Amino acid sequence: MDLATLKGERIHREDEMRRILVALAAVLLSTTAFAQTLKVSPPRNIIDIDPHGPNALLRESVLVARQVFETLVRFDGDEPVGVLAESWKQIDNKTWEFKLRPGVKFHDGSAFDSTDIKASAERLSRAKGGLASQWKVLESVETPDPLTAIIRLKNPVGPFLRITSFLSIAPSEVIDAKGPEEYGAGVILPGTGPFKIGDFSPGDSLTVTTNPDYWGEKPKIDGLQFVNIPEQTARVTAILNGEVDIAWAFSDDEVSTLRSEPTVKVDIVPSATYGYTWFNAARKPFDDPRVRQAMWHAIDVEMVLRDLKPETGTPARNVIPETVFGFTPLQPYAYDPEKAKALLAEAGFPQGFQTSLLFGQNFFPGISDFGQIFVSYWDAIGVKVRPLEQERAIFTQNFREMNWDMVLSSNPALTLDADYTVGRLYYSENKEMNYTNLDLDKLLLAAKAESDQGKRKELYAEATKVIWDDAVGIFWGDLKIVYAARSNVSGLQFSPIEAPYLAGVTVD
């Protein structure tokens, strides 16, 4: 073979190799070009990721739990959907049997089985604060085989499946290695979820990476970086500049700025959060329902919301938002200052009275404006109200110790079930606002024990009407959530409790 032929063959082989390399590169690009770390900025710093600890009820903690841990079931609207449980049945009004999903592994490589249900439920039931109160009813967990867990309760619990949808499952071996009092920010547990913990610095930063051994559909991104930006204006700038991909819980006055940027998508969605002003019924004159009703009739709720929350506020029609199981629409209180004055006179306060309104700084966007405008409405019927705006920690302490006449705040119905708010807050023995109504107590106990969900809804319809008509508080508005995402982000499932599942998000 001559030199020219050899050279021609070498060139041919090189060309062929280049074509192979180009084709290989194309394949690699098609599968990895869009895989990246999604940057997420929740409205509050992540201080604790222990799913059973005292801060497990914080929405940012629930947000992390939904990426890292899994539960027996989750809810799609009002319908339970199996996650780690493939099926379940109620054996009697205090006993549930769950058949578990086989072949699931934790992030540490250990196999998931029924002993992990037992260890996780017992650890949560022993905790102080957080979700523990919902699990004090636990009697025992039996594990007849690796894929069967039988949960026995001390009392019937109608919303039990809702409660299990917040029980994050961790490995029994890791739980057993922890001390019985070891909870909180220093605890990092493996889960079975689509993401696993990378680096965590409480109150500063958190990264999670995609779980390559996930049993379900794997995420199409490499992981998540939670970017803590506590100041709202800075979060707006970050989403506009592309420094973060997803953020939410913006105030109304930021919506137009977000919408002005064509590379940002803005969605305003219903939430499970409502605004309220509660009365301390143990303090005069708020022990008289006529006074409480007068305070509500004195406020033009529709006007206040149009002025202060035109994008994210709608007048409430119940003591729980429409997104929550147990909601039944009720007749709003009419703005009627003359009726308010008449009620005050009937209650023995024709000249009004003096009182105070407690609220926490930055508890929700615009809270100071709400406080000031409510005070002006009450002043018009002769009630002189001193606004007490306090730093969040001091407010929280005074709030828990019932050191207030009236309190202005917002509250999420975290489990999306009336039992969590109505059943917990207005039951006399819990003394959340020193309000006692024995007839209401009977309705709440019956609703909590009822397994038939249709009957539960009927009972909550009765209970919420009692609370509404008795004006235990002023339930002035249901609050919506402003979500903002870069235009190349798709698959975001909005969450009414500000804790979206992010495993299905893709970036184009």
- Which of 429, 424, 388 shows the shortest CA–CA distance to 409? 388
How many beta carbons lie within 10 A of that of residue 212, not counting itself? 7
**pLDDT at residue 23 in the model:** 41
Q: ∠343-349-352 over CA atoms, to 5°?
A: 100
**154 backbone dihedrals φ, ψ, rounded to 5°:** -70, -35
Task: Report the SS3 class of residue 237.
Answer: helix
Q: At what angle do helices 301-308 and 367-379 cross, to 10 degrees?
A: 150
Side-chain half-sphere exposure of 170, counting CA atoms within 13 A: 26
- Which of 207, 190, 168 shows the shortest CA–CA distance to 106? 190
**pLDDT at residue 342 in the model:** 98
Query: In this structure, are strands 384-390 and 264-279 parallel, antiparallel, or unpaired?
Result: unpaired
How many beta carbons lie within 10 A of that of residue 45, not counting itself? 16
- Which of 215, 216, 190 shows the shortest CA–CA distance to 198? 190
CA distance 421 to 272: 11
C-alpha torsion sign, points 459, 463, 469, 475 = negative
What DSSP string describes 264-285?
EEEEEEEEEEEEEEEE-TTSTT
Task: Sketch the domain layout of the chain as residue ranges.
Answer: 59-226, 270-480
Task: Report the SS3 class of residue 388.
Answer: strand
CA distance 452 to 345: 45
372: part of which helix (H) or strand (E)? helix 367-379
**pLDDT at residue 21 in the model:** 39
- Which of 114, 208, 206, 128 shows the shortest CA–CA distance to 169? 114
**pLDDT at residue 151 in the model:** 98
Report, in angstroms and rounded to the nearest whole number, the Rg of the chain calculated over CA atoms. Answer: 27
How many beta carbons lie within 10 A of that of residue 378, not counting itself? 22
pLDDT by residue, tens only, the chain of 508 residues:
443 343 345 445 544 543 443 344 333 433 443 458 999 999 988 999 999 998 898 899 999 999 999 999 999 988 999 999 999 999 999 999 999 999 999 999 999 999 999 999 999 999 988 888 889 999 999 999 999 999 999 999 999 999 999 999 999 999 999 888 899 888 999 999 999 999 999 988 999 999 999 999 999 999 999 999 988 899 999 999 999 999 999 999 999 999 999 999 999 999 999 999 999 999 999 999 999 999 999 999 999 999 999 999 999 999 999 999 999 999 999 999 999 999 999 999 999 999 999 999 878 888 999 999 999 999 999 999 999 999 988 998 999 899 999 999 999 999 999 999 999 899 998 777 889 999 999 999 999 999 999 999 999 999 999 999 999 999 999 999 999 999 999 999 999 999 999 999 999 8
What's the pTM value of the predicted model, to 2 decimals? 0.87
CATH class of 270-480: alpha beta
DSSP lists the bridge partners of residue 99 as 87, 148
Which residue's structure tokens are 């306090």? Answer: 390
Tokens of 445: 């106990």
**pLDDT at residue 181 in the model:** 84
For the chain, the helix, strand and coil percentages under 3-state DSSP, each to the nearest 5:
35, 25, 40
CA distance 478 to 485: 23
Query: In this structure, are strands 246-248 and 37-41 parallel, antiparallel, or unpaired?
Result: parallel
CATH number of 59-226: 3.40.190.10
Which residue's structure tokens are 């523990």? Answer: 132
**pLDDT at residue 2 in the model:** 41
**pLDDT at residue 24 in the model:** 42
